[in-house]
């Protein structure tokens, strides 16, 4: 496994792959890897000859400085996991390598960023769009792999790729969960024992809501029940709980025949902010 830290070194590596017309799969990460990331790597290995993983904690997508400073950093463990997965190359740039100067460009993803994460984390998707653009331009993959857990981010990246004509195929991999249903997230490392138990309310609420909706219950009634569930759970603060059009992220008030629908949520469990979603209609 090759570990590269500079754009110049990576450029030389990538040029050699291009000469041999080798298909490249790319998994961008912020480190603190878990089985969800490894599932992305597995999917990349299944469909491309060379797999490249990046590890870069992107400061421009954090609207909360303490969230950035507290983000878990486990580089040596990450590299061991990737080596065991037989990843071909890991790109580990520092901040100066990615941002030689403070970006002046501002990206606006329209309605996609006016709701949910975009509403509660101003500037978040601008930071995501800039760093993903930079990484796609550096890595030049044929396919890039992202997790369904970050459903709104996936929608933003798909729009970015379409609107700017990036020559890459975006593949979305289903959310990987613990046995008890908690969606895998690097932020889970920050959960204490009690908060880890409390965090299960997210998955419990999502599965309850899906069952009720498919049984014909009114969405507003379902959401009202869920909001009471969260209010009764001490140490958990619900931020949003919405029914949305899966690809367009438009907020809905009912199921629409023929329209892909998901439920998205975010909540603070103690000081840790978690997000999750579930597909109701494909």
- Binding residues, as ranges, are 30-37, 61, 147-150, 153, 176, 184-187
72: exposed, middle or buried (Cβ count in 10 Å: 0-12, 13-18, 19+): middle
Find all residues with CB under 8 Å of 229, minimum gap 6, and list them: 201, 204, 205, 208
Catalytic hit among 37, 101, 142, 245: 37
Binding residues for beta-alanine: 61
Q: Is 101 a catalytic residue?
A: no
What is the residue-wise DSSP string for 32-80?
Answer: ---HHHHHHHHHHHHH-SEEEEEE---GGG-SSHHHHHHS---HHHHHH
Q: How many CB atoms lie within 10 A of CB 107?
A: 20
Binding residues for (R)-pantoate: 61, 153
Strand partners, 241: 265
- Quickly tell me which residue has 């089985």 as its tokens: 35
Query: What b/e string do you get for 11-42 counting C-beta neighbours within 10 Å, with b at 16 or more?
Result: eebbeebeeeeeebbbbbbbbbbbebbbbbbe
Nearest by Cα to 274 from 222, 234, 230, 236: 236
Q: Which residues are annotated as a binding site for ATP?
A: 30-37, 147-150, 176, 184-187
Q: Which residues are catalytic?
A: 37
């Amino acid at each position: 496994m090759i570990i590269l830290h500079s754009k110049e070194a990576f450029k030389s590596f990538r040029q050699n792959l291009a000469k041999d017309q080798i298909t490249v799969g790319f998994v961008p990460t912020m480190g603190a890897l878990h089985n969800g990331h490894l599932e992305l790597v597995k999917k990349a290995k299944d469909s491309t000859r060379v797999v490249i993983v990046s590890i870069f904690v992107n400061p421009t997508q954090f609207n909360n400085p303490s969230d950035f400073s507290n983000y878990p950093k486990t580089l040596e463990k990450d590299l061991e996991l990737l080596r065991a997965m037989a990843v071909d190359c890991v790109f580990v740039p520092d901040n100066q390598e990615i941002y030689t100067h403070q970006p002046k460009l501002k990206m606006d993803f329209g309605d996609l960023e006016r709701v949910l994460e975009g509403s509660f984390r101003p500037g978040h998707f601008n930071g995501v769009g800039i760093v993903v653009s930079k990484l796609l331009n550096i890595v030049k993959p044929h396919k890039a792999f992202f997790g369904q857990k970050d459903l709104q981010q996936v929608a933003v990246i798909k729009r970015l790729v379409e609107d700017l004509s990036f020559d890459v195929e975006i593949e979305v991999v289903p959310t990987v969960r613990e046995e008890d249903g908690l969606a895998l997230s690097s932020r889970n490392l920050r959960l204490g024992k009690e908060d880890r138990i409390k965090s299960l309310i997210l998955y419990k609420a999502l599965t309850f809501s899906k069952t009720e909706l498919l049984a014909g219950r009114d969405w507003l009634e379902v959401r009202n029940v869920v909001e009471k569930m969260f209010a009764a759970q001490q140490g958990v603060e619900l931020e949003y709980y919405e029914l949305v059009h899966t690809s367009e992220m438009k907020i809905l008030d009912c199921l629409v025949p023929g329209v892909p629908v998901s439920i998205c949520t975010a909540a603070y469990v103690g000081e840790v902010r978690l997000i999750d979603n579930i597909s109701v209609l494909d």
